[in-house]
Amino acid sequence: MSSQLEQLKTMTTVVADTGDFEAIDQYKPQDATTNPSLLLNAINIEKYRPLAVEAVAWAKQQTNDNAQVISKAADKLSVLIGANLMAQVPGLVSTEVDARLSFDTQATIDKALELVALYKEQDIDTSRVLIKIASTWEGIQAAKILEQQGIRCNLTLVFAFAQARACAEVGAYLISPFVGRILDWYKANNADTDFSGANDPGVQSVTHIYDFFKKHDYKTIVMGASFRNINEIQLLAGCDRLTISPGLLSELAATDAPLVRQLTPTTETVAAPEPMSEQAFRWEMNQDAMATDKLSQGIRQFAIDQEKLEAILAELV
């Protein structure tokens, strides 16, 4: 029997959650995605450091302002790594907007346009680029405008159903609900509760979102992310896409038990409800302690890693 990784690929698009080119070459996913944490890990590997040197050299040709050099170099590096990933996967690559812009709609739009322009300079087919944006209200509104301009978006750090629904209502191309981080929060706050198997709240969240999107015929793709074990992946087999780390890809590749499809789109759809207002979105987020905590924490961590990445680039300047 084929491995569970190969079985999964027959029902779900597998995406590599890494900036490690060798891991992608080994497991041959359809798409790839990066974030500041993954970029930081990548350039801390010596063989990938030349990409950082190239990014800094390019940025120094654009401006004499050191702060601007570092900012431009960070953008260029994310695009260089994205371009390298595109040479390895046949599908899409997600490139993330600076998390520090998560509460500024216009700044997010401007940064997305800059990233797309950099990809064009690399002669990259920008239809293969997804702009990755945190699922704040401001980020979701930025995605609405970008999608209208033909720039497809990956709305990330999705923890609440309200976030998922609002993303679908603005026509976001794809969302990334974070399975493992949801589980982490519930374990930390409910130590005596059994969250194994189908009791996993992250699995339940993605299943609910998937079923709602299919029931109401939203076109937004659901891509489960941030897995803690392969059982979470097995329980979401059939989801539109799953983005998986190299370690868990390796476990799936080494497992040859039958993999049963768990998520299947409905054949009967009904009209979608009226779109959420900003007030309703913010109230639902306020009422969801887990989502509020994890969204804030995720943005902070990506911002910290962005600053660490820029510190390394500053040394090269």
**pLDDT tens-digit map of 220-250:** 999 999 999 999 999 999 999 999 999 999 9
The rounded distance, in Å, linking the Cα atoms of 228 and 231 is 9
Q: Is the pLDDT of residue 20 over 80?
A: no
Residue range 258-282: mean pLDDT, rounded: 96
How many other β-carbons are positioned within 10 Å of the β-carbon of residue 133?
30
Residue with tokens 């990334």: 176
Is a pLDDT exceeding 90 seen at residue 152?
yes
Over residues 133-157, the mean pLDDT reads 98
12 has pLDDT over 90: yes
Catalytic residues, which ones?
132
- 76 pLDDT tier (thresholds 50, 70, 90): very high
At residue 40, the pLDDT reads 86
pLDDT for the residue 49: 87
Buried b (16+ CB within 10 A) or exposed e, 171-195: ebbbbbbbbbbbbbbbeeeeeeeeb
User: What pLDDT, on the 0 to 100 scale, is given for residue 276?
Assistant: 97
**pTM of the model as a whole:** 0.94
Per DSSP, 100 falls in state G
Q: Judging by beta carbons within 10 Å of its beta carbon (0-12, 13-18, 19+), is residue 126 exposed, middle or buried?
A: middle
pLDDT bracket for residue 48 (50, 70, 90) = confident
Q: Which of 83, 81, 72 has the alpha carbon at shortest distance from 43?
A: 81
Q: What mean pLDDT, rounded, does the chain reach?
A: 95
Report the topology of domain 4-316. Answer: TIM Barrel (3.20.20)
Average pLDDT for 38-61: 88
Give the contacts of 267 (CB within 8 A, at least 6 positions apart). none
What is the pLDDT at residue 21?
78
Q: What is the pLDDT of residue 3?
A: 96
The pLDDT of residue 42 is 81
- pLDDT > 90: what percent of the chain? 86
Q: Which pLDDT does position 203 carry in this prediction?
A: 98
pLDDT score, position 201: 98
Whole-angstrom Cα distance, residue 272 to residue 281? Answer: 16
The residue type at 78: S
Tell me how many degrees the CA angle 303-18-50 measures, rounded to the nearest 5: 80
With residues binned 3-state (H G I as helix, E B as strand, rest as coil), the percentages for the chain, rounded to 5, are 60, 10, 30
- Among residues 210, 272, 241, 273, the alpha carbon closest in space to that of 16 is found at 241
- Average pLDDT (187-211) is 96
Compute the distance between CA of residue 162 and CA of residue 159 in angstroms, rounded to an integer: 9
